[in-house]
A = this chain, B = another copy of it.
Amino acid sequence: MSLLVIGTVAFDAIETPFGKTDKIIGGAATYISLSASNFVNKTNIVSVVGGDFPQTGLDMLEENNVDLEGLEIRENEKTFFWSGKYHNDMNTRDTLDTQLNVLETFNPVVPDNYQDCEFLMLGNLAPTVQKQVINSLHNRPKLIVMDTMNFWMDIAMDELKSTISMVDVLSINDEEARQLSGEYSLRKAAQKILAMGPQYLIIKKGEHGALLFDKNEVFFAPALPLEEVFDPTGAGDTFAGGFIGYLAETKDISFDNMKRAVIYGSAMASFCVEKFGTERLENLTDGELEKRVHEFISLVQFDISLVNS
């Protein structure tokens, strides 16, 4: 068993109503793998950074059981950089700056040691790059989960649909589900998207929780109502990392186990937003996670006995 994550390892500069950061470590693969590392012993990543990426960042990832053999370091180039500012409601944000840098020519190479991959998480990247990783694996993984974003729907819809057709689980947000399907109703959108190939669809609704669909069933996991959302950056990736990490740990890809994985993903995301960047994820304990999952259980559990049930 092994878990392979592809995606960005990046610098972010974030501004929220609560404060502002200088360049801090971010990126989809970073959040996914830090989150997944709460469930599996080792997370393999395939990504790229520049020579400006600090050794302390590499150390932090390794201390969190992230294997860096697949992380290409280009000494003479610069790491991908994103800067954004959140509005007061924390649900919307403006991108202030995007510098692709090393990402412009990223050509993912999967090391031989990663070929045993059973669980593959495709973090948000160009769909052609995501597809290249699928094709470079000698054996198809047991489960491929894919994240993407509206940007690729705007500029590369055909390539995106081609990659989507190759995965088992697609994870997108509500607006993206509407854009991808052309349907406003999420229930209708889900059926159209599932017809594109994936067996399962996760629709993330931020502070309003997440929906898991297959062709016949739907499951809803709320987001935990928090006292304070400090920084939503990485919450979706952290959710995805918890989701696939839990599945990789339990080796069970039934719909019932995916429900649990959605709850664990939601619990991980609820930690992510409590501090800037990856801070809260770096030192999370099993006890804290278990306590948080308990809160989810008590948040939604009720007991109704129906006559015909």
Q: A-side interface residues toward B, CB under 8 Å?
A: 88-89, 184-188, 205, 208-209, 211, 217-222, 225-229, 256, 259-260, 263, 290, 293-294, 297-300, 302-304, 306-309
Contacts and interface: CB of A to CB of B under 8 A. Distances in A.
Contact of A219 (B89, B209, B226, B302): B302
Contacts of A256: 302-303
3 smallest CB-CB distances across A and B, nearest first, come from: A208-B208, A259-B302, A220-B222
Contacts of A306: 290, 293-294
Given A88-B184, A294-B309, A307-B290, A302 B260 contact: yes
A220 B297 CA distance: 10
Contacts of A293: 304, 306
Contacts of A221: 300, 302
A229 B185 contact: yes
A304 B260 contact: yes
B222 A209 contact: yes
A96 B208 CA distance: 30
Contact of A299 (B89, B186, B218, B260): B218
A210 to B, nearest CB: 11
Contacts of A308: 290
Nearest to A186: B225
20 contacts: A88-B184, A186-B225, A187-B225, A188-B228, A208-B208, A208-B209, A209-B209, A209-B222, A217-B298, A218-B225, A219-B302, A220-B222, A220-B225, A220-B300, A256-B302, A256-B303, A259-B302, A263-B302, A297-B304, A300-B300
A227 B225 CA distance: 26
Contacts of A263: 302, 304
Nearest to A183: B227
A169 to B, nearest CB: 17
A149 to B, nearest CB: 20
Contact of A227 (B187, B209, B211, B307): B187
Given A290-B308, A300-B219, A304-B263, A211 B184 contact: no
Given A188-B228, A220-B222, A221-B300, 16 more contacts: A89-B184, A187-B226, A187-B227, A188-B227, A205-B208, A208-B209, A218-B299, A219-B302, A220-B225, A220-B299, A221-B302, A260-B302, A260-B304, A263-B302, A263-B304, A290-B308
